[in-house]
């Protein structure tokens, strides 16, 4: 299965969503247009709008509607808005194999452009004919969660005392919450019954958590196509699940030593290699993989109440793709 295969299956629904994303961003300011086009050329997996349309059709007897398309477009616009902001918070110079807006135009421009994408997402939600107010509440909660997750991550990076409960709160807030609003809004757009809405909510949260765990594993293993050097999270003093798994099996003295090394990694970049070795020797990656498999299984199990369809089959396959992708 490839995501391009799913886009082809989605047919006109995908074409309308992609077209709406592009038309939403058009401006009479040349710099804005050229920058947006560059972002769209490196648009990544576009997983959120794909999942959104699949959920709408799985809950809508194989049919999406205009509100479904608007929600799908909004999810991608909002996702990219958060990336533009994240690149400033993380001082990132590269994303998806290309220079970031922050690297080319500076942090203020990246923040402003992120705001622009965010407003365009909200405009699409407000244009929803039947469920605009409800969907606004859903996405507003996500925006609040995203900000809280970012601030908690910054707080924990400076204290070095992240535990597993903190980690899962951070990745729910920063990643899973947007998958959740994406899928719930899609189900609502086709008037899905409450049981189905809750099913896709549970699917989305588990999918989002699995997606982020996989990304965090990449920080220790790399990926064939990820284009991200090993140890970027460590350089930013982030304690993620592979490290937490290794810390759990270490002595208190050794765990304290590793945490202190992470706090000093800016002054001692050579510590990165030591911490990566600690994680690998301590089976931290294997621990993270086991939790990843757990959340993939939860995501798949959540879909049991939905009627059988090709859309449901693709949602199941996407859960597997999340676990076994190489980028």
pLDDT tens string 210-237: 999 999 999 998 755 555 678 889 999 9
Q: Which residue intervals of the chain are DSSP H helices?
A: 3-10, 12-25, 30-41, 47-59, 66-89, 101-105, 107-126, 132-159, 164-171, 177-189, 194-221, 232-235, 241-249, 252-263, 271-281, 284-302, 310-324
The span from the CA of 81 to the CA of 17, in Å, is 17
Q: Looking at residue 324, what is its pLDDT?
A: 83
pLDDT at 270 over 70: yes
Q: Looking at residue 92, what is its pLDDT?
A: 80
To 10 degrees, what angle do helices 30-41 and 12-25 make?
150
For the ranges 70-79, 101-110, 192-201, the lowest mean pLDDT is seen at 101-110
Closest CA to 94 of 146, 47, 41, 42: 42
pLDDT tens string 36-76: 998 998 878 899 999 999 999 999 999 999 999 999 999 99
The span from the CA of 20 to the CA of 34, in Å, is 17
In this predicted model, which residue has the larger pLDDT, 276 or 100? 276
Block residue for tokens 């350089």: 235
Torsion angle, alpha carbons of 315, 219, 44, 1, to 10: -40
Q: Looking at residue 228, what is its pLDDT?
A: 60
Whether 318 and 211 have beta carbons less than 8 Å apart is answered as no
Closest CA to 117 of 87, 94, 145, 151: 87
Which class does domain 3-324 fall in?
mainly alpha
The span from the CA of 299 to the CA of 303, in Å, is 7
> Above pLDDT 70, what percent of the chain?
97
Task: Provide the token pair at 216.
Answer: 């965090």
DSSP string, 266-323: TT-TTHHHHHHHHHHHTTHHHHHHHHHHHHHHHHHHHGGGSPP-HHHHHHHHHHHHHH
Q: Looking at residue 250, what is its pLDDT?
A: 96
Q: Looking at residue 246, what is its pLDDT?
A: 97
Estimate to the nearest angstrom the gap between the alpha carbon of 298 and the chain centroid.
18
Identify the band that residue 133 occupies on the pLDDT scale cut at 50, 70 and 90: confident
Block residue for tokens 């937490």: 244
């Amino acid at each position: 299965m490839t995501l391009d295969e799913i886009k082809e299956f989605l047919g006109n629904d995908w074409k309308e969503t992609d077209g709406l994303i592009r038309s939403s961003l058009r401006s009479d300011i040349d710099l804005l247009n050229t920058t947006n086009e560059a972002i769209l050329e490196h648009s990544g997996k576009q997983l959120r709008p794909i999942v959104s349309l699949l959920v709408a059709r799985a809950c809508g007897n194989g049919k999406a509607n205009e509100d479904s398309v608007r929600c799908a477009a909004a999810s991608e616009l909002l996702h990219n808005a958060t990336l533009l902001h994240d690149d400033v918070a993380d001082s990132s110079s590269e994303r998806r194999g290309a220079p970031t807006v922050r690297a080319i135009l500076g942090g203020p421009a990246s923040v402003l452009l992120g705001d622009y994408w965010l407003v365009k997402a909200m405009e699409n939600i407000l244009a929803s004919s039947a469920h605009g107010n409800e969907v606004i509440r859903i996405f507003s909660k996500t925006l609040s969660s995203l900000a809280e997750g970012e601030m908690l991550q910054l707080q924990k990076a400076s204290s070095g005392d992240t535990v597993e409960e903190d980690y899962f709160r951070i990745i729910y807030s920063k990643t899973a919450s947007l998958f959740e609003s994406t899928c719930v809004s899609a189900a609502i757009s086709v008037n899905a019954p409450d049981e189905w809405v809750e099913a896709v909510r549970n699917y989305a949260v588990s999918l989002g958590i699995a997606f982020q765990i996989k990304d965090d594993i990449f920080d220790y293993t790399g990926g064939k196509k990820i284009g991200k050097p090993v140890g970027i999270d460590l350089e930013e003093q982030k304690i993620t699940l592979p490290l937490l798994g290794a810390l759990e099996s270490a002595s208190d003295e050794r765990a304290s030593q590793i945490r202190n090394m992470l706090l000093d990694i800016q002054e001692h970049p050579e510590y990165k290699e030591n911490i990566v070795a600690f994680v690998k020797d301590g089976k931290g990656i294997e621990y993270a993989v086991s939790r990843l498999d757990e959340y993939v299984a939860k995501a798949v199990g959540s879909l049991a109440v939905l009627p059988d369809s090709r859309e449901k089959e693709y949602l199941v396959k996407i859960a597997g793709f999340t676990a076994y992708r190489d980028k």
